[in-house]
Amino acid sequence: MRNDIKEETWLTAAQCAKRIGLTVRALRLYEKNGLIRPRRTGKNWRLYGADEIARLNEILTLKRLGLSLQHIARLLAGQAADLDRMLSVQNLALQEQLGRTQRSLAVVDTLRAKITAGDILSIEELLKLAKDTNMTDISPDTIAWRRYEQARPRTEQKIDPTLYAAYQGYYLLDRLAYVITVRDDRVFSRLTGQAELEIFPEDIDRFFYKAVQAQLTFTRNENGSVSGLVLHQNGYEQAAPRVEESVVTALEDTLAERIRSKRPVENSKNLLKEIIDQHQRGEPDCERMTPPLATAAQEQSATIKADLERMGPLKDISFKGVTEGGWDVYDVSFEKGHMEWSFVLAEDGKFSGIFIRPSL
């Protein structure tokens, strides 16, 4: 009788990251959140075996479903997680994607029919097709294209004002809320912590701002009822499902209490220290940022690093308060001057905004 024992293959962090298609920084983040527990050598080097590879594939699968690392950690630990909101957002995004695909197919059929008839296609028709087929792509070229498309001049169109009532309501955009109201046959939108702005119809279900380069598209469910909206801004598309008024009231009441009591988010000061340290090195951790912020951080990294080099070593960080939009604000003292840093976190704990300016 013979027993064959096959020795397990262990990978270094760099080898594991390359095999899975991640970064070493992502592996560290997953370990920090308790998602993986790599083996340690006598010299404290991390090693990854078959169990860690399998777990990493599970994590990536769950991330593709839109789950945050906190939700994934609870699920993998066998704990209950509040997934209803995540699934609602995922449902809205998939419905929007399905609608775009169906519209794009209809446009393609129409354009092919025109070509068959000997007609010449217009630039506007090709641009519309390109926009509809690239909304979910986050490659740099596509983001640049969307920025251009979102910044182009818009023309206000007349639509039946009786349609406006269907848009009025409350929509949840991560930790913020959109409140859509109708007054005197005009439509207004207010995002938590910001001033109310009028939006103007470009078509049925499609509106644009004149004050900023952004648009809102209202989405509908299979019954034809408005079930959400999509914000088009800075080259990205962000879905916001429709919710009850009580959800928005609770959200804004909680924020108002945090503002009154000047209560920062948990671990706020240490989070800011990490962000400053990363920018001093010129290495912002984009894994811990939402995609729009990660893009901006990469684009501005060299400029911020140069500004921080002129300021010298960090000396002190002092909390100032919370803005109406939920941003934690700090006075940051360096050897050669002061700056004001503020940031806001998304629902999944990632940074969704960072703002830096000279101290007043």
Give the pLDDT confidence score for residue 6 in this predicted structure: 42
User: Residue 165, CB half-sphere, CA atoms under 13 Å: how many?
Assistant: 1
d(CA 206, CA 101): 17
Q: In this predicted model, what pLDDT tens digit does every residue of 48-81 receive, in sequence order?
A: 888 888 888 878 777 766 667 777 777 777 665 5
Q: In this predicted model, what pLDDT tens digit does every residue of 175-216 receive, in sequence order?
A: 889 999 999 999 999 999 889 999 999 999 999 999 888 999
Q: Encoding tokens for residue 159?
A: 């639509």
Are 51 and 194 found together in one domain? Answer: no
Of 196, 220, 246, the domain-final residue: 246
Residue 232's CATH number: 2.40.128.50
Give the pLDDT confidence score for residue 64 in this predicted structure: 65
Q: In this predicted model, what pLDDT tens digit does every residue of 110-150 receive, in sequence order?
A: 777 877 888 776 656 655 555 555 444 455 656 766 777 78
Strands lying side by side in the sheet with 337-345: 314-322, 328-334, 337-345, 351-358
Instruction: Kindly state whether residue 24 falls inside one of the protein's structural domains.
Output: yes
Are 234 and 178 found together in one domain? Answer: yes
Residue 281's CATH number: 3.10.450.590
Q: Encoding tokens for residue 244?
A: 């009850």
| Region 167-175 average pLDDT | 92
Spatial CA neighbour of 191 closest among 200, 205, 181: 181
Instruction: Kindly state whether residue 251 falls inside one of the protein's structural domains.
Output: no
Structural domain boundaries enclosing 311: 262-358
What is the number of structural domains in the chain? 3
Q: In this predicted model, what pLDDT tens digit does every residue of 257-283 receive, in sequence order?
A: 999 999 999 999 999 999 999 999 999
Are 18 and 158 found together in one domain? Answer: no
pTM of the model: 0.60
Are 91 and 179 found together in one domain? Answer: yes
Mean pLDDT, the chain, rounded, equals: 83
Q: CB count, 10 Å around CB of 199?
A: 20
Of 76, 110, 130, the domain-final residue: 76
Contact in structure between 66 and 89 (CB atoms under 8 Å): yes
Residue 52's CATH number: 1.10.1660.10
User: Residue 209, CB half-sphere, CA atoms under 13 Å: how many?
Assistant: 18
Are 117 and 158 found together in one domain? Answer: yes
Are 94 and 227 found together in one domain? Answer: yes
Are 223 and 294 found together in one domain? Answer: no
Are 268 and 230 found together in one domain? Answer: no
d(CA 88, CA 105): 26
